[in-house]
Amino acid sequence: VKWDGVRALAYSTPGELRLESRNLKEITSQYPELHRLNRALSSHAAILDGEIVAFDQHGKPSFALLQRRMHVSSPAQVKRLAKATPVTYMIFDLLWLNGHSLLGLPYADRRELLADLDLGGPSWRTPEPLEGKAREVLAAAAEQGLEGIVAKRLDSTYEPGARSSAWIKIKN
């Protein structure tokens, strides 16, 4: 699913979590509800890839709601907004685990390792990948009012900083 949020890498080592935007900007302090993701990873050291999303009252991603949280630096305002407009980190890839780069592994293998971490919490989820024909999945996304999908080749490796031709965004 194309979540219509802010793409973010999560760097987690025991006791520490750092979030970075796609353009390598530190955004950890803007999303305090995600800090406990570090505990969910327990003793694992990992780099995760995902999307920070704000959901509306109908459970649909809302970029307009998320914009209220972006670029806020005042700790008091961040805390107030975290309560008023909470976010969820939708984790879709695992890039590094316990001292080992996973970039060269096929996406299917990285997803299997990610699923083994069992990361589901109050402010983070690892949605199941939707396998099937892109047209059917896109139609289902449109029916649910979602922006679109990202079609990914299961055998694709991760290409940092590049828009891989193995990952294709398809909007409704």
Query: What's the rounded Cα separation, in Å, for the pair 110 and 58?
Result: 31
Helix, strand, coil % in the chain, rounded to nearest 5 = 25, 30, 45
Strand partners, 16: 13
* CB distance 27 to 78 below 8 Å: no
In the set 2, 25, 83, 171, the catalytic residue is 2
Nearest-angstrom CA–CA distance, 127 and 90: 7
Length reported for the chain: 172
Tell me which amino acid residue 80 is.
R
**Catalytic site residue 152?**
no
Q: Return the active site residues.
A: 2
